[in-house]
Chains A and B, each alone.
Chain A
Amino acid sequence: QVQLVQSGAEVTKPGASVKVSCKTSGYTFTSYYVHWVRQAPGQGLEWVGIIHPAGGTTDYARNLQGRVAMTRDTSTSTVYMEMSSLRSDDTAMYYCGTEVPNTGGVDYWGQGTLVTVSS
């Protein structure tokens, strides 16, 4: 069965960077897109970006461009999301999830990784 397992919680300081991993299994890694979505405490969902594992192409939310980068390792079926110049309002639960290409729906989700930015 499809599984996405994310790395553990992170506590980091303003201005620093964080890298979250999403290890996938149960399907052909290059067949599904992978999205990242975040949710600040008590707030709604916010789309962060997408990576197409087959070719590594990415697209990011306009307000995060320049601070976020998504990469993948096809040998371990793992996707990474790195965010730099962190601010307190980047504190959120970060989820990865898969999409069958061109359906627009994220059908399998990771368990989430809490990133806390605090001085």
Chain B
Amino acid sequence: QSALTQPASVSGSPGQSITISCTGSSSDIGSYSLVSWYQQHPGKAPKLIIYEGSKCPSGVSNRFSGSKSGNTASLTISGLQPEDEADYYCCSYAGSPTSYVFGSGTKLTVL
């Protein structure tokens, strides 16, 4: 199972909105609603920011939103803040025997 495809990097200015795409296939994103997104700062464990494609965990800013269309999932961050600068990973359930597959990761730079 190959990693889901994400852009290597995206950037934006404070206050702007950005969207990170995550492209998979009919075997993963296209078949299941279990897409999650993680934020990871250097040297830290990942942090869940979206689950089940579009749900935001308690305590996570509602500036983060997720969606899915076909084989592609997307993460949108609105009102960019300096602390949003981090790596972002998508993850999808892919059924048995693969189970789960992560995206290649996107580095977000807040200019």
Chain A residues with a Cβ under 8 A of chain B: 35, 37, 44-47, 49-50, 59-62, 65, 95, 97, 102-107, 109-112
The answer on a CB contact under 8 Å between A62 and B97 is yes
The answer to whether A44 and B52 touch across the interface, beta carbons within 8 angstroms, is no
- By a CB distance below 8 angstroms, the chain A residues around B1 are 61-62
Query: B102 at the A/B interface (Cβ < 8 Å)?
Result: yes
Q: Mark B72-111, 1 if CB is under 8 A from A, else 0.
A: 0000000000000001010111001111111111000000
Judge if B48 is at the interface, Cβ distance under 8 Å.
Answer: yes
CB pair A104 B57 closer than 8 Å = no
B38 in contact (CB, < 8 A): yes
A103 and B46 alpha carbons, distance in the complex (Å): 17
Asked if A45 meets B38 with Cβ closer than 8 Å, knowing A61-B99, A107-B57, the reply is: yes
Q: A103-B52, A105-B51, A105-B52 are in contact. Are A112 and B45 (CB under 8 A)?
A: yes
Residues of A within 8 A of B48 (CB): 105-107
Are the CB atoms of B34 and A104 closer together than 8 Å?
yes
What is the predominant secondary structure among interface residues of chain A facing chain B? Answer: strand
Contact, CB under 8 Å: A105 / B45: no
Cβ A37 vs Cβ B97 within 8 A: no
- Cβ of A44 and Cβ of B99 under 8 Å apart? no
B64 to chain A, nearest CB (A): 13
Kindly state whether residue B35 has any CB partner on chain A within 8 Å: yes
**Complex Cα distance A50/B95, Å?**
13
Please tell me if B36 contacts chain A, counting CB pairs below 8 Å. Answer: yes
CB pair A47–B97 under 8 Å, yes or no, is no
The answer to whether A50 and B99 touch (CB under 8 A), given A95-B46, A105-B51, is yes
